[in-house]
Amino acid sequence: MATGTIGAFEQSLTDVGVELTRATPATFSETLASVVDEPAVGTPLGFDGVSLKDTPVTTELTPRDLTEAQTGVTPIGRAIAQYGTLVVESNAAGNEPVSLYPPTHVGVVRESDVIEDVTEAMPKLAEQFSDGGSVVFATGASATGDMGALVKGVHGPKTVRVVLVEGL
Amino acid sequence: MSLEERRAKARHIRHLLETEGRAIRENTTVFNEDRYEVSESFDGYEGLRSRARRIKEDAIDRLPELIDRLRESVEANGGELYVADDAADANRYIEAVVDGEDADTVVKSKSMTTEELDVNDHLEAAGVDVWETDLGEFVLQVADESPSHLVGPSLHRSQEDVARLFNERFDPDEPFETAEELTAFARDYLGARIRSADVGMTGANFVLADSGTITLVTNEGNARKTAVTPNTHIAVAGVEKVIPSADELQPFIELIAKAATGQPISQYVTMLTPPVDSPTIDFSRPTEPLGSGDDDRAFHLVLVDNGRMAMRDDDHLEETLYCIRCGACANSCANFQHVGGHAFGGETYTGGIATGWEAGVHGQDSAATFNDFCTGCSRCADACPVKIDIPWINTVVRDRINHESDGAAFDFLVEGLTPDAEPGGLDVQKRLFGNFGTLARVGSATAPLSNRLAELGAVRSAMERFFGVDARRDLPTFERETFADWFDARESPDNDGREVVVYPDAYTNYVLVNRGKAAVRVLEALGAQVELATPQESGRAPLSQGMIRTATRRASAVSADLTTYIDDGFDVVVIEPSDLAAFRREYGKLLDEETHERLAGNSYDVMEYVYGLLNTGADAGVLAEPSEPLAYHSHCQQRTIGVETYTEAVLTDLGFDLLTSDVECCGMAGSFGYKSEYYELSMDVGSDLEAQFADATDRTLVASGTSCTEQLGDLFERDVVHPVELIAPE
Ligand code: SF4
C-alpha cells in the first residue's frame, strides 16, 4: 500500500459521494461514535486493535434491529482505490444485511487493506469463491434513475461513510 | 410490404415518437455520452474489450464442458443446477420449487431471461404473487407493459408519466410528484414484500463454473436483498452466462457499467456463492436473533437453453451469445434513440442485438418485425464491449427473412429485369434499393429525361405506392456526363508521384460527380499519377437490403478489378465512406481472407490519403485557400473505421474554421430515409443534426457521405459539399 493509493481512494470516495473519516486505534471508538446515527447495529470487526466495544453499536441482531437501525457498521475486507469500492465479505455474523438494510452504512477500513484496482482484488476473490465465500463490491450509495431522476437510497443505504483506521 | 402495411407501420412509429420519443432520447443520449466519456478516460478500455471478447469466444466454445463443471460446483456447495431445454421446461421447474416451498410470494430482481420465459405470468396463473423489486420493472408491472430497453426497462417513461400512473393505481393521500417521493413509496411498498417473501428470484450476469459463484450487477441493491432475505434463492440465466472462473471475471466487472450507463462501476457487483453464509432473516419473528430460524438456505440455479445451443451451432448467430446485455448497442443507435424498444424490439429483447436474440430464442418471425430499423450505420459495433458485429447479424437475419418470404405482387416485373442474385419473393422495395447501381446507370444514360420523369407527380405517387419510396424526399439527380466520362475525356498531367487508382462508386460516378472530379484534381495537384477503376457498385446497396448473394457477387467483381491495380503497386482511393467501410469491414464476410486483407490494407479514404501525402512532403500550397467557415458532419461508418479524423485534421491544418457534429447518424442511412414507412423517423433523427447546425447559418455545409449529403440538403435546403471539393485547386 503506497500513500498514492490512499490518495486515490480518497479521491474516488469523494467522486462517489462517500465521506471518509480518519481514525487511529486510539481514537477509533470516539471517531466511530461521531459518524453513526443511532440506533446503530454492527458486526464484529475482527481487526486487532479496534472493536465495536465501547461504541454505541450493538452487535446482537434481530430482524427488528435491522429495520429500525439508522446505521449499520461492518468491517470492510478490502477497499479498491480506483473506484472507491468497499469489498463487503458475507459472513454468518451478517455483514451483508447490516451493510444493506439501514439507511446509513459505515464501513471500517484498515489502511493496509486499501488496494489499487480490481485486478489486485481478484486472486483473493478466487480463493474466497472456492471456499464458498460471497462478496459484494459496493461503490457509493444505492441509487436509481427509474423514477425519472437520479435518487439515492433505494433498496440499499442512502448514505455511506468510511472510517479509515491508520496504522493498521 | 403492402402500401397499407407501410402506412400502418408509419402510424405506429409516429405514435411512439409522440408518446415515448422524448424520454427515450433523453435517457439513451445521456447513457451514450457518459459511455464515451468514461471509456475515453479509462486507460486500457480497448484492451479490456479484446480480453472480454476472447473469454466469451472460449467459453461458448467449451460450453458443454463448463456446464458439467458448474454442476459439480453448485452441487458441492449444496445447491441444485437445472438446465432447462426451453421456456416451458424452465417454468415447470421453477413452479415445482416454489410449490415445494409452499410459497405464496416470490420477489424478483431484474432479469431479461425471466422476461423471455414469461415466468411471472406462469407463476401468477399458479396462484403465486410475484413482485418485481427493480423500480423500473416495478413501473412496468404496474403499467402492464413490456421493457423498452435491456438495462432501463421503463426508460420510455418520464417522471410525470410514472407519477400519473402511480397516483391512479395507488391513490395516495398526497399525490406523488417528485422522483424522491415515487422512489420512497416504491421502496417501502416493495420492502414489505421482500421481507415477507418465501422465494427470491434473480438473474445472473456471469456464472463461474469453477466455484458456482453468480455475479449480479445492480445499482439499487434490490438484487442483494432478493437473494439473501428469503431462504430460498432461484437464479435464472441463459446458458451463455457461464465463464470458467474468477480469473475471467475482472474484465466484465470493469466493462459492464461503463458500456451500459457510462458509470465507472455499478453500485453493487454482488458475487454470491450460494447457498450463502449470511444469517437467515425471519421477519415474522422480529425479536429472535438473526440466523436462529430452523430453516436452511436453499439455492437453485436454472440455466436456460431455449434455442441457445442451436445458436451456438449457427455460424452467424453464435456471436450473439457473447452479449452481456449492456444495452450500449441501443444507446448508440440513432434510430433507437428516437423510437425506442417498443418499435425496435421483439417479444423480449430490444435494440440492435435483439435481432440475434429474437431470431435465436423466439424465431425469425419475431426478428422480422423490427429488423429493418438497423440501417447498418455500425456505431454499435464500436460501442459493444465484447465487439459483436451487430450490423452483420442484422444483415444475415435480413437475408434469411428475404429468402423465406412468399412472393410479392410485382415479382414478375422486377425479377429478370434486375441483375441481382436473389430469388423470387424478395420485397420489391428491397429489390429496388438493392439494385441502386443499375438504376443509377440507366438513370444517367437517360438523363435529363429520367430526372424530369422522376419528378412527375404521377411517377412519384406510383413509386410510393408500389415501392414505398416516399414522395416527400428529393430523388438523386443523375448526371448525363458521368465521372468516368469526364475522366476519359481529359489529359492526365505528367506526374511522377505515387500511383493511385480512384474507385468511382455509383454515387460519385452518376450523381455526385463533382466530388470525383475534385478528388482527381487534388491528388494530381499533390503529384500523384491517377487512374480510374471500373465504375461499378460495391455491394453496399444490396447488402443494406440483406441481399448477401448479390453483394458477394459485386464484392468479387470490385475486388477483382482493384486487386489488379494493387498488384501493380497502386494505392486505392475511395471517396464514398460507406464503400471504404465495406472494403474494410463487410468484405471480410463476403470474400476470402487474403483478398479482403489486401483490399482493406491498400484502400484509403480520399482525405486520409491526402493527409498522408501532405505529411510525407507534398506541398499544401497547391491546394485551394481556406475560404468560408464550415459545418462538417462525418459519416457514421467512417467513424466506425476511425478515418473521419483525417478530414478534420487536413481541413484544420489548412486553416479552415471547422465546426463538427457529434450525432451518431444523420438519419438518412442509405435507403432508410427514402422508405415511406420510415421517412418520419428519419427526419426525426435528422432533427438532432439540424439542431447542432442550427446556428451555423454562415457556414458551408460539408459531408463525406452521400446519405448525409442528401439528408443535410433536405434539412437545410442548402448546397452540401464533400471536403475534397473545398481543397481542390481550380
Ligand atoms: S450486443 Fe454488445 S452492446 Fe449490445 S447489449 Fe450485447 S454486449 Fe451490449
| Residue A3 pLDDT | 64
From chain B, pick out residues whose CB is under 8 angstroms from the CB of A13.
none
| Residue B452 pLDDT | 80
Span B238-261, average pLDDT: 97
Q: With a cut of 80, say whether residue B497 has pLDDT above it.
A: yes
Q: Check which CATH number belongs to the domain holding A100 and give it.
A: 3.40.50.10420
User: Residue B405 — very low, low, confident or very high, per pLDDT cuts 50/70/90?
Assistant: low
Residue B354 lies in a domain: no
Q: With a cut of 80, say whether residue B409 has pLDDT above it.
A: no
Contact A133 B277 (CB under 8 A): yes
From chain B, pick out residues whose CB is under 8 angstroms from the CB of A95.
278
Q: Between B418 and B69, where is the model more confident? A: B69
The nearest CA of chain A is from the CA of B400 a distance in Å of 37
Residue B317 lies in a domain: no
| Residue B294 pLDDT | 66
Q: Which domain holds residue A89?
A: 3-165
| pLDDT tens digits for range B2-38 | 888 889 999 999 999 999 999 999 999 999 999 999 9
| pLDDT tens digits for range A92-105 | 999 999 999 999 99
Q: With a cut of 80, say whether residue B709 has pLDDT above it.
A: yes
Contact B221 A92 (CB under 8 A): no
| pLDDT tens digits for range B509-534 | 999 999 999 999 999 999 999 999 99
Least confident of B287-301, B322-336, B404-418: B404-418
Span B406-410, average pLDDT: 47
Mean per-residue pLDDT of chain B: 93
What's the complex ipTM? 0.97
Least confident of B176-190, B334-348, B428-442: B428-442
pTM: 0.93
- Our count of domains for chain A comes to 1
DSSP bridge pairs for B184: none
| pLDDT tens digits for range B632-664 | 999 999 999 999 999 999 999 999 999 999 898
User: Residue B367 — very low, low, confident or very high, per pLDDT cuts 50/70/90?
Assistant: very high
Residue B372 lies in a domain: no
Residue nearest to atom 8 of ligand 1 (CA): B326
Q: What phi-psi label fits residue B236: left (phi over 0), alpha (psi between -120 and 50 degrees) or beta?
A: beta
Contact A137 B268 (CB under 8 A): yes
Q: Check which CATH number belongs to the domain holding B170 and give it.
A: 3.40.50.10420
| pLDDT tens digits for range B71-100 | 999 999 999 999 999 999 999 999 999 999
User: Is the distance from the beta carbon of residue B393 to the nearest atom of ligand 1 less than 6 Å?
Assistant: no
Residue B76 lies in a domain: yes
Q: What is the residue-wise DSSP string for A105-157?
A: EEEEEEGGGEES-HHHHHHHHHHHHHTT--EEEE-SS-EE-TTSS-EE-SSS-
Side-chain half-sphere CA neighbours of A105 within 13 A? 30
> Which DSSP helix (H) or strand (E) runs through A162?
strand A159-165
Q: Between B163 and B462, where is the model more confident? A: B163
Q: Between B472 and B507, where is the model more confident? A: B507
Residue B455 lies in a domain: no
Q: Which amino acid is present at B161? A: D
B150 Cα–ligand 1 center, Å: 9
Span B715-722, average pLDDT: 94
Contact A61 B290 (CB under 8 A): yes
| Residue B51 pLDDT | 97
| Residue A146 pLDDT | 87
Q: With a cut of 80, say whether residue B411 has pLDDT above it.
A: no
B387 Cα–ligand 1 center, Å: 8
Span B294-322, average pLDDT: 95
Identify the three-state secondary structure at position B292.
Answer: coil
| Residue B417 pLDDT | 54
Residue B398 lies in a domain: no
CA–CA gap between residue A82 and residue A115 (Å, rounded): 8
CA–CA gap between residue B415 and residue B400 (Å, rounded): 18
| Residue B413 pLDDT | 47
| Residue B432 pLDDT | 82
Residues shown for chain B: 730
pLDDT tens for chain A, 168 residues: list them: 456 999 999 999 999 999 999 999 999 999 999 999 999 999 999 999 999 999 999 999 999 999 999 999 999 999 999 999 999 999 999 999 999 999 999 999 999 999 999 999 999 999 999 999 999 999 999 999 888 888 999 999 999 999 999 998
Among the candidates B309, B326, B353, a domain finishes at B309
From chain B, pick out residues whose CB is under 8 angstroms from the CB of A83.
264-265
Q: What is the residue-wise DSSP string for A14-81?
A: HHTT-EEEEE-TTTHHHHHHHHPPSSEEE-----TT--STTSSEE----HHHHHH-SEEEEE-SEEET
User: Residue B627 — very low, low, confident or very high, per pLDDT cuts 50/70/90?
Assistant: confident
| pLDDT tens digits for range B190-238 | 999 999 999 999 999 999 999 999 999 999 999 999 999 999 999 999 9
Q: Which residues lie closer than 8 Å to B417 by C-beta, 6 or more apart?
A: none
Identify the three-state secondary structure at position B237.
Answer: strand
User: Residue B410 — very low, low, confident or very high, per pLDDT cuts 50/70/90?
Assistant: very low
CA–CA gap between residue A37 and residue A85 (Å, rounded): 22
B491 Cα–ligand 1 center, Å: 52
B637 Cα–ligand 1 center, Å: 18
From chain B, pick out residues whose CB is under 8 angstroms from the CB of A146.
134-136, 138-139, 152, 154-155, 183, 220
CA–CA gap between residue B237 and residue B115 (Å, rounded): 11
Contact B277 A142 (CB under 8 A): no
Helix spans in B582-664 (H): 587-590, 593-602, 606-614, 636-640, 644-653
| Residue B61 pLDDT | 97
Q: Which domain holds residue B254?
A: 46-309
- Our count of domains for chain B comes to 2
| Residue B418 pLDDT | 60
| Residue B91 pLDDT | 98
For B142, the grid coordinates are 404496474
| Residue A145 pLDDT | 87
| pLDDT tens digits for range B416-444 | 556 677 777 788 888 888 888 888 888 88
Residue nearest to atom 6 of ligand 1 (CA): B323
